[in-house]
Amino acid sequence: MGRFFSAEHDDIQKGLTTDVYFQRTEAILKAKGLLDVHTRSEVTVADLPDAWPWAVLCGTEEVVRILEGREVDLYALPEGSLFTPRTRRGVKLPVASIDGPYGQYCSLETPALGFICYASGVATMAARCKLAAGSLPVISFGVRRMHPAMAPVIDRSSFIGGCDGVSSLKGAELVGKAASGTMPHSLVIMMGDQREAFKAFGEIIDPTVPRVALTDTFFDEKAEALMAAEAMPGLRSVRLDTPGSRRGNMADIVREVRWELDLRGYTNVGVFVSGGLDEVKIKELAAAGASGFGVGTSISNAPTIDFAMDIVEKAGKPIAKRGKFAGRKYVFKCPDCLEYEVSLRRDDPPKCSCGEEMRWAEVKVIEKGKRLVPEEPAEEIRRRVLRQMGRAAL
């Protein structure tokens, strides 16, 4: 059997997915005896995509894993922190920083950034979709649009950002939940008839799996929704995945199906919508009476967050390239409104604009290669995200 193109975990750990210029840098620094010079590097982002005011930090757990065992200290905001790219004074906010001999992590910059740039983009888009959906569930359906090796990464990041469920088996295992899904059009086609497909699902699939009937395969959504309500005992919801060529006004289709179900007493049957959804459409459909959303490409192909890693201190002295702020910074956060500021001293917490005293927000995760804090379950990180979204005046 041929191998897939994705990198082996070992290759990533050894730095083989890194950009070649780091390998060359290592060779030069080694020859000149500079590999062990102590440095401090920070991870920052100048601006967020699409003028997002805030983002969700995600993927730091994998950064911890790649740095574990290297002679470095790692400080980071907790995974699932909502953050702004800059503090209120306009200083780029370090979301993580590494302290140690440069040779210990030079070749890991590329994979370390890759872990958080993509995952944070996905988590942020999931959070935005969740905000748009209000109290309604959002399920991550986007793994099919990315390389399968990424499925657990996509699902974990979506879940942490606020998705209520994920569709892939490996993704669900990683976040400790049962996978979420309904039925594909192929089942209806293979069964030859919608009613047969609905009945067969009811007969064969474990009763703990919510009954959700896909009601747009052959006929009108309204007609198939009523067929499902009659053919499927315990029907939780119908799913509308109407193709683009038939959509017209999707909110109106939702309203009409909702009306017909209510008219016939199926008020407990929800209308779950999937297919080409994004945060704007979710809002419209929620207002039209949809009961839940399956969101694919807009989450799994979310804009990536362009984090960069830069040296800010060398041999104990502040130094930085043009455009970066040199020196060790301590990151503080307001416990109430989640505003950030940096201070040059750990014992000098800034005051928030709300009057509250800010708290030191970084966690020392690794000391001299040794992990200091245990891995957090995805569910706990997700709760942190939802809590902040409820409070943030960001």
CB-based contact 224:197 (threshold 8 Å): no
The nearest distance, CB 339 to Zn ion, in angstroms, is 5
CB-based contact 125:26 (threshold 8 Å): no
Cα separation of 132 and 288, whole Å?
13
Cα separation of 151 and 239, whole Å?
23
Residue 276 or 349: which CB sits closer to Zn ion? Answer: 349
Residue 229 or 338: which CB sits closer to Zn ion? Answer: 338
Backbone angles phi, psi at 330, to 5 degrees: -100, 125
The nearest distance, CB 358 to Zn ion, in angstroms, is 7
Per-position DSSP letters for 49-118, written without gaps between them: GGG-S-EE---HHHHHHHHTTSS-EEEEPPTT-EE-SB-TTSPBPPSEEEEEEGGGTGGGHHHHHHHHHH
Q: 251: helix, coil or strand?
A: helix
The nearest distance, CB 352 to Zn ion, in angstroms, is 3
Residue 262 or 356: which CB sits closer to Zn ion? Answer: 356
The nearest distance, CB 332 to Zn ion, in angstroms, is 11
Cα separation of 139 and 243, whole Å?
19
Residue 173 or 336: which CB sits closer to Zn ion? Answer: 336
In DSSP terms, 42 is beta-bridged to 97, 310
The nearest distance, CB 84 to Zn ion, in angstroms, is 13
Q: Which residue has the tokens 């891995």?
A: 375
Residue 74 or 358: which CB sits closer to Zn ion? Answer: 358
Task: Name the site residues for Zn ion (rule: CB under 5 A).
Answer: 334, 336-337, 339, 352, 354, 356
Residue 88 or 147: which CB sits closer to Zn ion? Answer: 88
The nearest distance, CB 349 to Zn ion, in angstroms, is 12
